[in-house]
Structure 1
Amino acid sequence: MNMKSLILALVFMVSSYSAPAMAFTGGSFAACDAPQVLTYIQKRFTWTDRMLLKRGLAIDSIERPHAIRGRNMVASSSVPRLYCHGTARMNDGHDRPIWWLIEGGMGFAGLRDNLEFCISGLDPFKVHGAWCRSVR
């Protein structure tokens, strides 16, 4: 494959990637309470529950979103990180603690920011460790 074909293939692959409602682009760091951040979390949770876990749960709203730690808290890390916390109001009437992490430049192919979140008691596979440890 020549260089031009390789570049075109890479551009096509990157442009055809579309994460659901991805709100972060080009290293601009969104705030914890940015509407696109909260909407992304709600949509991603609903999709995951509907397609994988099938519990019928959804996040009605995220209350009191705020940063708990800022950008480069680890001196050896060059990845900007923003740790956030709030309360998820669920459609089953329960309020649950929610934590999320925004990492600059850690999305697909390093072109976008990444967002990970965890709701206390609703991570049955411990993807984010016990008690949502990796996003706290």
Structure 2
Amino acid sequence: MRRALLRTALASLALLTAAASAEASGRRIVHPADRAENRTVPLTGALPACDDPAVLGEITSWFNTRESRFWGPLQAVAYDRIRPIGFRPLGDDLIPRRFCTGRIALNDGTLHRIDYSVRENLGLFGWTWNVNWCVSGLDRHRAYAPDCKMARP
């Protein structure tokens, strides 16, 4: 009887410790069966890195197209200080996302902060990853206001 009670107490203590650890890190506790990897159509979390040329090329293509079509002569020239700021910070049961930040150099000589996320299975027909991005100071419709905060975790 005492051993069963001790085992129950230790299990409860382990659960409380895990909950406190998850709460301190800002993450929710997710039962293993509810993870995105265990869905009918599993999500693997295998996303390209922040500085992957395909990711930066995707941003460059969309940025240059948008600017030339709607706003004017600005074009993306280069990137630097690219670094990750979060991987799956919203929880393991949601669509995997890699959040990144860095600087983008434009053809007018200015540097702007860029915040973006690489998201799994949100590309064409859900077959591949895609990128959601915001350039600080150029969010003209304030879709990610204030100052691209909504593009970060």
TM range, smaller chain: 0.7 to 0.9
What amino acid does structure 2 have at the position aligned with 1:64? Answer: R
Q: How well do the aligned residues superpose, as a CA RMSD in angstroms?
A: 1.8
The corresponding residue for 2:118 is 102
Deviation at 1:134, TM superposition (A): 2.1
Aligned identity (percent) is 28
Report Cα offsets for 1:82-108 as digits up to 9, x if no partner: 000001111111111111111111223
Matched, 1:129 2:145: yes
Contact 2:137 2:147 in 1 (8 A): yes
Deviation at 1:38, TM superposition (A): 1.0
What amino acid does structure 2 have at the position aligned with 1:103? Answer: R
Counterpart CA distance in 2 for 1:75 and 1:38 is 25
The corresponding residue for 2:67 is 49
Counterpart CA distance in 2 for 1:125 and 1:78 is 27
Q: How many pairs are equivalent?
A: 109
Which TM-score applies when normalising by structure 1? 0.73
Deviation at 1:52, TM superposition (A): 1.6
The corresponding residue for 2:49 is 31
Contact 2:95 2:119 in 1 (8 A): yes
Which structure features the higher share of helix residues? Answer: 2
Deviation at 1:31, TM superposition (A): 0.3
Contact 2:45 2:96 in 1 (8 A): no
Counterpart CA distance in 1 for 2:144 and 2:127 is 23
Of the three residues 41, 60, 66, the one matched with 2:83 is 66
Matched, 1:117 2:133: yes
What amino acid does structure 1 have at the position aligned with 2:132? Answer: E
Larger radius of gyration: 2
- In structure 2, runs of 5+ residues without a counterpart are 1-43
Matched, 1:90 2:139: no
Contact 1:27 1:113 in 2 (8 A): no
Deviation at 1:29, TM superposition (A): 1.0
Contact 1:50 1:56 in 2 (8 A): yes
- In structure 1, runs of 5+ residues without a counterpart are 1-25
Q: What is the DSSP-based 3-state SS (H/G/I as helix, E as strand, rest coil) of the residue aligned with 2:81? A: strand
